[in-house]
Structure 1
Amino acid sequence: MKTNIGIKSGDCQKIVDILSKVLADEFVLYTKTRKAHYNVEGPDFHSMHLFFESQYEELEESVDDVAERIRQLGHYAPSSLKEYLALTQLSENRDNKSNDSQSWIKDLVKDHEAIIIYLRENIDPIDDLHDQGTADFLTGLMQKHEEAAWMLRAHVK
């Protein structure tokens, strides 16, 4: 059955295109955060292993929420690694190949901040397309990334 929620078809496609990029970024960051969880080394291993786990669990929830928002708009969510890598602004590669927590943190902060900027740039345009639900959703998602970035930055001296 066709979705009829008061958003023009072309406008809805623009919104879904933005959300698809957000979904790809969320998934790539989720994967990198899991990698940090798996591979962090150093005297703070245990605490950072648990910290990264809490961060990737939050991101896992965000991945699901973004995909479900796309479905609520009547579209199918991208869901393959190939699609994610084609859509994301993030890189799977890291600036620093060291596995100490500080190196991981600096890399993950950079990715959270890139997502925050993308979300901030797209909230008003989505609101202008008369989709206040998605604009509100992205505002909440941006706040989650701001908190995650703050938590990560608090570990860097």
Structure 2
Amino acid sequence: MEINIGISEENRKAIADELSKVLADSYMLYLKTHNYHWNVTGELFHSLHEQFEEQYTELAEAIDEIAERIRALGYRAPGTFKEFNELTSIDEDTEEPEALEMVRRLALGNEQILRTARKALKPANEAEDEATVDLLTQRLDIHAKTAWMLRSHLE
């Protein structure tokens, strides 16, 4: 069925492509945060364990919203680890960092999503796609606050 939502196919594709990168970064940060939740140790265990749980729970909801927006634009949302790995700009961890290094890496991951989301704003703004702009604005607010809270542990 032809899609006629007031946004051209070219613009919908550009937006979906950028949202796919936001989705991939969000998924990779979700995995990293959940991993850290399970494996954090040390005197900050309790507070970080709880903070990481709040963060990965929020990311899980965001991942669904981002994927559903891609689908609403008429495109397939990436959904495999291979696809996410190709699209993401967040590195997977291959070692087991200490608690404060986990915090630092999560702060950097949230900052990376901020940069990726800002890039996605351009085609959404150009197409006057307010729904995507709203979604990305919410993500910017959440990731900026999360990065700040994580950085506060390191000061």
Q: Normalising by structure 2, what TM-score?
A: 0.93
Structure 2 CA distance for aligned equivalents of residues 111 and 48 of structure 1:
16
Alignment of 1:62-141 (within 5 A): 62-93=62-93, 97=95, 99-141=97-139
Q: Please tell me whether the aligned partners of residues 90 and 109 of structure 2 are also in contact (alpha carbons under 8 angstroms).
A: yes
Q: Normalising by structure 1, what TM-score?
A: 0.92
Shift of 1:51: 1.1
Structure 1 CA distance for aligned equivalents of residues 122 and 84 of structure 2:
24
Aligned residues: 155
Shift of 1:11: 1.1
The secondary structure found in structure 1 opposite 2:42 is coil
Q: Please tell me whether the aligned partners of residues 15 and 120 of structure 2 are also in contact (alpha carbons under 8 angstroms).
A: no
- Structure-2 residue corresponding to 1:12: 12
Structure 2 CA distance for aligned equivalents of residues 121 and 9 of structure 1:
19
Alignment of 1:51-62 (within 5 A): 51-62=51-62
Structure 2 CA distance for aligned equivalents of residues 155 and 2 of structure 1:
50
- In structure 1, the gaps of 5 or more residues are none
The secondary structure found in structure 1 opposite 2:46 is helix
* Misfit runs of 4+, over 4 Å: none
Q: Please tell me whether the aligned partners of residues 39 and 99 of structure 1 are also in contact (alpha carbons under 8 angstroms).
A: no
AA at the equivalent of 2:6: G
The secondary structure found in structure 2 opposite 1:154 is helix
Deviates more, 1:133-142 or 1:119-128: 119-128
RMSD over aligned Cα atoms: 1.4
